[in-house]
Chains A and B, each alone.
Chain A
Amino acid sequence: QKEVEQNSGPLSVPEGAIASLNCTYSDRGSQSFFWYRQYSGKSPELIMFIYSNGDKEDGRFTAQLNKASQYVSLLIRDSQPSDSATYLCAVKARLVFGTGTRLLVSP
């Protein structure tokens, strides 16, 4: 079983919609997580860091952590074509990433 799992997608949403990206993890002891965004040919860049159960909001982005169910999600409100990228979830310990979910936002 992989340490961090994501659906590779692509996830297609229309402009203005909410995009929902999910990530599950196998180690119940994992405490904190990152969401990164990566454009094609570029380096990953941080969107959010989360360590508490519940929601954390930053602009159009909301990260949700549920430690009992071992999942982390990222919601993107009012999705824009510029949000089209691969979104990577990682557990902070050892910085292990999932395979990433490709998001496509159509105008």
Chain B
Amino acid sequence: DAGITQSPRHKVTETGTPVTLRCHQTENHRYMYWYRQDPGHGLRLIHYSYGVKDTDKGEVSDGYSVSRSKTEDFLLTLESATSSQTSVYFCANRAEGGTEAFFGQGTRLTVV
């Protein structure tokens, strides 16, 4: 793998609270991605990054923000969590020109 870890692995939070998920890579891969996965929807792209401080929106970005101040970390923030954001979140990375994207272990987030 490409040394990609997500934290926390599980989290339960209350509606309206802010939540930050962390994706950390030990490789200096240029591209990093955040997805959510829900039954029947596959992996839906939330945001992605193509370099430090360079990010762009994906298919389902509403309610989410991201930051990448260092190559190795890509943070996903839910400013005010809602029950519809209960999901499994995956982070991935890919080297420039790379022919494989590597995934983290996933974070199960429950908003109650």
**Interface majority SS on B: helix, strand, loop or mixed?**
strand
Interface residues of B (CB under 8 A from A): 31, 33, 35, 40-45, 48, 58-59, 90, 92, 94, 99-101, 103-106
* Max count, chain B CB within 10 A of own CB: residue among A46, A96, A99: A96
What is the bound-complex CA distance between A2 and B62, given in angstroms?
18
Least distance between A48 CB and chain B CB atoms (Å): 10
Given contacts A95-B31, A95-B92, contact A49 B45 (CB under 8 A): no
Given contacts A43-B104, A44-B103, A46-B101, contact A99 B41 (CB under 8 A): yes
How many chain A residues touch B (CB < 8 A): the figure is 19
Is there an interface contact between B59 and A96, defined as CB atoms closer than 8 Å? yes
What is the bound-complex CA distance between A6 and B106, given in angstroms?
23
Question: Per a CB cutoff under 8 Å, which of B33, B40, B41, B104 touches A95?
Answer: B33
Closest to B35 in A: A97
- Chain A 7-32, CB within 8 Å of chain B: the 1/0 string? 01000000000000000000000001
Question: Per a CB cutoff under 8 Å, which of A43, A88, A97 touches B106?
Answer: A43
Is there an interface contact between B40 and A94, defined as CB atoms closer than 8 Å? no
What is the bound-complex CA distance between A90 and B42, given in angstroms?
11
- 14 pairs across A/B with beta carbons < 8 Å? A8-B40, A34-B100, A44-B90, A46-B100, A46-B101, A88-B43, A94-B48, A94-B58, A95-B45, A95-B94, A95-B101, A97-B44, A99-B41, A99-B42
By a CB distance below 8 angstroms, the chain B residues around A6 are: 42
What is the bound-complex CA distance between A46 and B41, given in angstroms?
19
* Max count, chain A CB within 10 A of own CB: residue among B40, B42, B45, B103: B42
Least distance between B94 CB and chain A CB atoms (Å): 7
